[in-house]
Structure 1
């Protein structure tokens, strides 16, 4: 599991007094930086590999400014060229949002998906989601 702590900003708070729902996908993406580095170690957009195919978010509870949130990210499935992640957002010991996202390992030059390299696959396997 990957873990990222995020401090909510005032600008992310909407007129109803909670963190705006459009912020959560951005936070989930921020928590994926370690995974992005596995595929593109130099973080170069000229050689970027992770192309998003699908994202789903379930909002379970309101999230507020003033208290950090923790995002947990697991690998749910590893395919030949794609992977699915499962993510949870927690604040004050409550799960407030959860979601899944699917990425494909994509070669921008050839415009084709590529097999996930074995060394990346091994690292991802260490973060597999285990249903309890």
Structure 2
């Protein structure tokens, strides 16, 4: 039972930790989006290593392989956070004021009401 709880924690805890650690940085006007993204990835990998190391070094190899497989969910969760960062926070004025509007299939228009930044974003 403890192994299943551990797998459940490994499946989302590192991604949630990196999101919670970097979300307050969105309000900092001195940090670029790329810097926040890089810090989030570093925290994600460090938390993932800290979670996976005890599981992999245990004697039960089945749980180790399952933990590695389940840990891939973290990257999908962080990818969603990354999309939010780049579609909500303006790279010009560095405020969370971007508005997204669909133009064509998989093409979006990003517009900041604060600084007037305008760009197209392709998915």
Would the TM-score normalized by the shorter structure come out above 0.5? no
Q: Which has the higher strand share?
A: 1
Q: Which has the higher helix share?
A: 2
Larger Rg: 2
Of the two structures, which has the highest relative contact order with CA contacts closer than 8 Å and spacing of 6 or more? 1
* TM-score, structure 1 normalization: 0.29
